[in-house]
Structure 1
Amino acid sequence: MPGARAVLRRITDLNGAASYDDVQRYFAHHPTDPIPPSKIGGTLTSVKAVQRRIGPDSAGPLLQRDERARLYRIDRALVAGLARAFALADARPDLLRGEPAARVT
């Protein structure tokens, strides 16, 4: 889901931690990936759903929440890997679309 990927990227860019309100304000009027304030909670929930489908059963949650503080956090060990993945996605956007790479002969 592009919304979930954009939210993960934003939290990664903020060194792995952001408040719910910060994420909501950032995406409310974002020029390329706007997410209405009423939908941001569902987008954050979809991050957990994606992890359950593709992550190993024993993995802890990628996006951790402190409901009382409304703070979302990504474990430090994962932030560097996500940052590398997003840099690769910027360099090779075809990888995210599932398109075959051009063959070199």
Structure 2
Amino acid sequence: MIAALMPGARAVLRRITDLGGTASYDDVQQHFTYHPTNPIPLSRIGGSLTSIKAAQRRHGPDAAGPLLQRDERARRYHIGDALLPGLTRAFALADARPDLLRGTSAASA
């Protein structure tokens, strides 16, 4: 499912994962507004977060709970504790094999 995300949404999901699975909207916004390699304009942060939900609906298992949960009052995003270790491993694997996120194999690259 991570490979199905747009690069901006993937970067946002990774940032929340790196923060231990919980981050405020402002944390995400401040991190990416002036990010040196993956800047996301203020006007696109919400869309990046929304596309995580959209990708899960298209590619995730049926009847799965939300990957990224939002507390509207506190403006905080949270990844379930059961999902966090798997995401951490997936991002570590993506670091070792970036071709997996591009949909190509190392042999054909």
TM-score by length of structure 2 reads: 0.91
Q: Structure 1: any 5+ residue segments left out of the alignment?
A: none
The percentage of counterpart residues that share the same residue type is: 77
Residue 14 of structure 2 is matched in structure 1 by 9
Q: 1:53 offset after TM fit, Å?
A: 0.5
Equivalent residue number for residue 50 of structure 1: 55
The aligned amino acid for 1:26 is H
Partner-residue secondary structure (3-state), 1:48: helix
Task: Return the alpha-carbon distance in structure 1 between the equivalents of residues 100 and 59 of structure 2.
Answer: 17
Write out the 4+ residue segments of structure 1 that deviate beyond 4 Å after TM superposition: none
**TM-score scaled by length of structure 1:** 0.95
Structure 1 residue 31: Cα displacement: 0.9
Deviation at 1:14, TM superposition (A): 0.5
SS in 1 for 2:40: coil
Counterpart residue identity of residue 53, structure 2: K
Look at both structures and tell me which one has the larger radius of gyration over its CA atoms.
1
Q: How far does residue 99 in structure 1 lie from its aligned partner after superposition?
A: 1.1
1:55 is displaced (CA, Å) by: 0.6
Identify unmatched segments of 5+ residues in structure 2. Answer: 1-5
Q: Tell me how large the CA RMSD over aligned residues is.
A: 1.0
Distance 1:74 1:59 in 2: 13
Report whether the alignment pairs 1:34 with 2:39: yes
User: 2:78 is matched with which residue: 73, 82, 85?
Assistant: 73
Alignment of 1:76-91 (within 5 A): 76-91=81-96
